[in-house]
Structure 1
Amino acid sequence: MPFQTSGLHHVTAIGGDPQRNVDFYLRTLGLRLVKTTVNFDDPGTYHLYYGDESGKPGTLLTFFPWRGAPRGRIGTGQATTTSFSVPEHSIGWWKRHLDAAGVTVSEVVNRDEEEALLFRDPDGLQLALVAHPQEDPRNPWDTPMVPAEHAIRGLHSVTMSVTREDATAGMLIEGLGLSLASEDRNRFRFAAGDGGPGALVDVVVTPNSPKGLVAAGTVHHVAWRAPDEETQAAWREELIERGVGVTSIRDRQYFRSIYFREPGGVLLEIATDQPGFAIDEPLLELGKALKLPPWLEPDRERIESSLPELELPSENNPVGT
């Protein structure tokens, strides 16, 4: 019996200008910046985490933003669209809101009994807002720009583009414990547990599409949830026994991670739910200060001098700003 993830943990993408990234995700999409840190493997750039009030697993979209980064190419071997969950009655509000913000947005698309709006962020990252017919119980972040009644509840799903379905499906089912939920021509939906927002991945098979190139405007990896470190360690051993090339367990300070590629080329991660983002700053101050792991603290002065300053809207930290 394979291990079974309970759903998406986070999606990590590559961005361009960090301030433009912050402005779009905080002001236009109404998310909260829950952690300002650096790429632990390349501390010359930020790692910015956006989510709900506390950054719960399943609400998180994170970025490595490099000012002046070249534009990537969206294609096979990538997660090509990141979708957020919004209330069913809010699609019209979001269409007007995005239009007013100067964002080019599609007409409402209907698929799998869901309504969706498709658009891109300033770097070209493909995004969607999806209204699921069932209520999403996750609590949103409430801001003056995006009130709670319409706000994003968290991740809805990711779409992966591959050239063949069978090997990727095998990894999702046998490696992550997902199940095939629906099939529509070249689109296959897989679900964790009972499915629903935050527990879905769509696999689109496009044999003749060009291979993606990871740079600004593309997804770097997709992370799935593990409840604790013990489960993650045992999961890693099972993947190795299956012949999967898995990294060592990496300390990401706010969770622990392992990484591997599914056969279609998409980089996947299994991340622990704990310890979370409040271990080094109070809830109301999340994202306000640059946080570094202990092993990078001796280089704080050099790291801070290499990073551009960020200005956060006051509503990101409503008390004590």
Structure 2
Amino acid sequence: MHLLGVHHVSILTGKAERNYEFFTKILGMRLVKKTVNQDNTESYHLFYADGEGTPGTDITFFDIPGLGRTYRGTSDISSVSLRVKTSESLHFWKERFESFDIKHETIRKRAGRNSLSFEDFDGTRLILVADDGEEGVRSGTPWERDDIPTEHSIVGLGPVTLTVEDPKPTVQVLTEVMGFRENGSYPSPEEKGEDILVYSTGEGGSGAEVHIEVREDLPKARLGRGGVHHVAFRVPNEEEYSKWAERLNDYRLPNSGKVERYYFKALYFREPNGILFELSTDGPGFATDEPLETMGEELALPPFLEPKRADIERKLRPLEF
């Protein structure tokens, strides 16, 4: 069994309206699903992705109005990457961020790739990474917009960075349980930081990597707006999904058991440093209950929540996009 790469990341936002503005109007991603947090249906759950909602391209947000800020530290998913095709695109995005007054840094190398870090309105730490023809997990389909040339579109998720105090137990789970392989390291952007460790799965490439940053000088993180709730990894089909459920139990890793999310099936567990991982199937996908052409335009509810639609809609505040 091999995990294919990163499936999605889920983040907390304090205001869905501004979140939508940032990810669609500034970053040019597509809202492919407007639904609710299935564990708290009074909260919206928004999914942004490529033009087709391809697995490995979606970044999702739980909307929690009034949520306090994140306090950075260890036991944390400290940054999330988004893929673009070439380094030329990074220059396009740098100019675009300047025109929108978006906080960003300079273009620099990370794990041998050119990259550009920036923050959204909630302070989420994001990084654009350039594929530049690198082999590995394929990218998604650009979402066409008049103000963003398709050659510069965001086409998927890149590496996630885990910040931990002690890397050994996290590495053990990644390699012995999840089948990741060591793939080198690169210098930390912090002046006195240790080299950041790189681990990859599946076909490799930026869409299939986890980076581990070791920070013994930081307290444990406190999750708030802009913080990453969990990272999910791609399972190709339901047969392997069932085997992963057995594997987690064989390794005596406490886990959620099988969870039906309708658009995919999920398994949740925490690695030893307390970071929440999810294993998610590629299918059936976001077009299972909406036409591909109109995904994300209306509030979508899975069949097990549909009978409660009137009550759910009554408790949700209207979103005007």
TM-score in terms of structure 1 length: 0.93
SS at match of 1:198: helix
Indicate the residue corresponding to 2:191 in structure 1: none
Identity %: 39
Q: Which residue of 2 aligns with 1:177?
A: 179
SS at match of 2:150: coil
Per-residue CA deviations over 1:89-136 (Å, capped at 9, x if unaligned) read 211110000111110110112222211111111111110111133256
Secondary structure at the aligned position of 2:152 is classed as coil
One-letter amino acid of the counterpart of residue 195, structure 1: G
Task: Please tell me the root mean square deviation across aligned C-alpha atoms, in Å.
Answer: 1.3
Amino acid in the other structure paired with 1:186: D
State the alpha-carbon separation in 1 of the partners of residues 153 and 262 from structure 2.
Answer: 28
| Correspondence list, 1:5-20, <5 A | 5-20=3-18
Partner letter of residue 151 of structure 2? Answer: E
Residue number in structure 1 paired with 2:123: 124
2:65 counterpart residue number: 67
Asked if structure 2 preserves the Cα contact closer than 8 Å seen for 1:28 and 1:145, the reply is no
**Residue correspondence of structure 1 range 1-321 to structure 2 within 5 A:** 3-88=1-86, 89-135=88-134, 137-184=139-186, 185-312=194-321
Is the contact made by 1:15 and 1:65 (CA closer than 8 Å) also made in structure 2? yes
- In the alignment, is the contact (CA less than 8 A) between 1:159 and 1:202 conserved in 2? yes
The number of aligned residues is 310
Q: Spell out, residue by residue over 1:129-150, the C-alpha distance to the aligned partner (whole angstroms, 9 max, x if none).
A: 1113325653211212322110
- Secondary structure of the 1:107 match is strand
Q: Distance in 1 between matches of 2:22 and 2:168?
A: 37
Partner of 1:316: none
User: Aligned-pair distance for 1:233?
Assistant: 1.3
Alpha-carbon shift at residue 77 of structure 1 (Å): 0.9
Distance 1:12 1:137 in 2: 19
SS at match of 2:25: helix
Partner of 2:189: none
Work out the CA distance in 2 between the residues paired with 1:37 and 1:230.
27
CA contact (8 A) 2:200 2:209 kept: yes
Q: Secondary structure at the match of 1:181?
A: strand
Which one is further off, 257-266 or 193-202?
193-202
CA contact 1:27–1:145 (8 Å) conserved in 2? no
2:56/2:207 contact within 8 Å kept:
yes
Distance (Å, rounded) in 2 between the aligned partners of 1:122 and 1:294: 33
The alignment's TM-score, normalised by the length of structure 2, stands at 0.93
Distance in structure 1 (CA, Å) of the matches to 2:46 and 2:139: 25
Is the deviation greater in 292-301 or in 234-243? 292-301
Q: Distance in 1 between matches of 2:99 and 2:212?
A: 32
Preserved CA contact (<8 Å) 2:54 2:140: no
- Cα distance, 1:299 vs structure 2: 2.2
The separation in 1 between residues aligned to 2:234 and 2:221, in whole angstroms, is: 25
SS at match of 2:246: helix
CA deviations 1:226-272 (Å, max 9, x no partner) are 11122111111111111111112111110000000111211000000
Contact 1:113 1:133 in 2 (8 A): no
1:157, 1:202 within 8 Å by CA — same for their partners in 2? yes
How far, CA to CA, are the matches of 1:263 and 1:39 in structure 2?
26
Quote the Cα distance in structure 2 between the aligned partners of 1:60 and 1:186: 28
Query: AA paired with 1:152?
Result: I
Q: Output the amino acid matched with 1:147.
A: P
Q: Bigger CA drift: 61-70 or 37-46?
A: 61-70
Q: Kindly state the Cα deviation for residue 189 of structure 1 after the two structures are TM-superposed.
A: 0.4
Structure 2 alignment gaps of length 5 or more: 187-193
How far apart in 1 are the matches of 2:110 and 2:62? 31
